[in-house]
Chains A and B, each alone.
Chain A
Amino acid sequence: MEVRPDIFFIILGAALVTFIPRVLPLMLLSRISIPEWGMRWLSHVPIAVMAALVAQELLLEDGRFARLTTNVELIAALPAFWVAVKTRSLLGTVLAGMAALLLLRLIF
């Protein structure tokens, strides 16, 4: 049960940069308003961030393009995408992806 100082400061910094975007618009938006183009730009951020993370997770391995013939994660992503589109359930998607990967690793 110990907290290393460098980890402590990483957690503290990460918590702070997470806290500010969470509370600032709620606190200030009744006073200042974000210009229309700013809201428009911001509206694309969630999609862009998530897509970038999905692409990195599925296509890269140690900073290199993962070999398509051995990329079971990419194959497991297909049922996950399918379940997400069909059920709109976050839990269902996670379980489908994990089950698919589990199955693929048993086969290959």
Chain B
Amino acid sequence: MQKPVQPEPHAVQHKDDSFLQGVKDCLPTLLGYLSIGFAAGVVEKTAGLSIAEIILISTLLYAGSAQFIAAGMIAAGNAGAGIILTILLVNLRHLLLSAALSPFFRHLSPLKNMLVGALLTDETFGVAIQQSAKRQAIDEKWMHGLNVTAYLNWILANIAGAYLGQWIASPEALGLDFALPAMFIGLLVLTIASRSKYKLDIIVALIAALVAVGASMLWSASIGVILATIIASTLGMVIEKWK
């Protein structure tokens, strides 16, 4: 019983698929994570969170923009339900990242896919999508190497920011308070640049900006984000269908 010789994708790509290779492929993103995580730690500290609370939020929430928003809203004395609803909306984009990655993890059980998705971020998604261009499936071990490296780096950066934040009298003087809007500007531009439908994306962005500002002045910042997202996404869908 001789089977025809077929190249086994896993055997061929074994070297590329290891946990360690995932760690290595994460390295280019570490500095970016480090600076934003550090800024997050400083902002969380100045928002009045304790070191233990900062470790908790970076370990459990593990989401850059959401942590900045949570810190800001906690400092401003917002109600818990409003904070959680805002973060749900801000992090709803993970649905799409997770959905886009799912074809490459069909070989895994739902439980293993849960572990892959639990540490999914914009940056690890970006690296993983690049990896997927070369193959049909992404190795679980490689993905964990990528995810865990980014995760540990993030937590350490938050703690470092929290400790050093105590010695920084005014983060504004260092321009650190601008790390968040600048990160959103970067993510917005990078996302638009990666999609090759600039016109529609820019229209959606402008509608969202307009609604966000108007609704925030009328009601509140969290309602502003919610309304802007729903209205701009719906109009984007309609314009796309209509063309």
Are A and B a genuine interacting pair, yes or no? yes
Binding site for B on A (CB under 8 A): 1-4, 6-15, 17-19, 21-30, 34, 37, 39-60, 63-65, 73, 76-77, 80-81, 84-85, 88-102, 105
Residues of chain B at interface, number, CB under 8 A: 96
Knowing A3-B50, A17-B87, A21-B95 are in contact, say whether A97-B182 is a contact too (CB < 8 A).
yes
Q: How far is the CB of A105 from chain B (nearest CB, A)?
A: 7
Q: How far is the CB of A82 from chain B (nearest CB, A)?
A: 10
Q: Apart from A45-B229, A51-B204, A51-B209, list 10 A-B contacts with CB within 8 A.
A: A1-B50, A24-B95, A26-B98, A26-B99, A48-B229, A50-B205, A53-B184, A54-B188, A94-B39, A105-B172
Task: For B178, give its contact among A2, A41, A76 (CB under 8 Å).
Answer: A76
User: What is the chain B residue whose CB lies nearest that of A53?
Assistant: B184
Docked-complex contact B95 and A55, CB < 8 angstroms = no
Set of chain A residues within 8 Å of B185, measured between Cβ atoms? 54, 77, 80-81, 84, 93, 97
Q: Indicate whether B4 reaches chain A with its CB closer than 8 angstroms.
A: no
Mask of B128-143 contacts with A, CB within 8 angstroms, 1/0: 0000000000000000
Docked-complex contact A40 and B237, CB < 8 angstroms = yes
Q: How far is the CB of A62 from chain B (nearest CB, A)?
A: 9
Considering residues A7, A58, A85, which has the most beta carbons from chain B within 10 angstroms of its beta carbon? A7
* Complex alpha-carbon distance, A28 and B52, angstroms: 34
* Complex alpha-carbon distance, A63 and B80, angstroms: 19
Task: For A48, give its contact among B97, B106, B193, B233 (CB under 8 Å).
Answer: B233
Docked-complex contact A90 and B32, CB < 8 angstroms = yes
Set of chain A residues within 8 Å of B184, measured between Cβ atoms? 50, 53-54, 57
Q: How far is the CB of A9 from chain B (nearest CB, A)?
A: 6
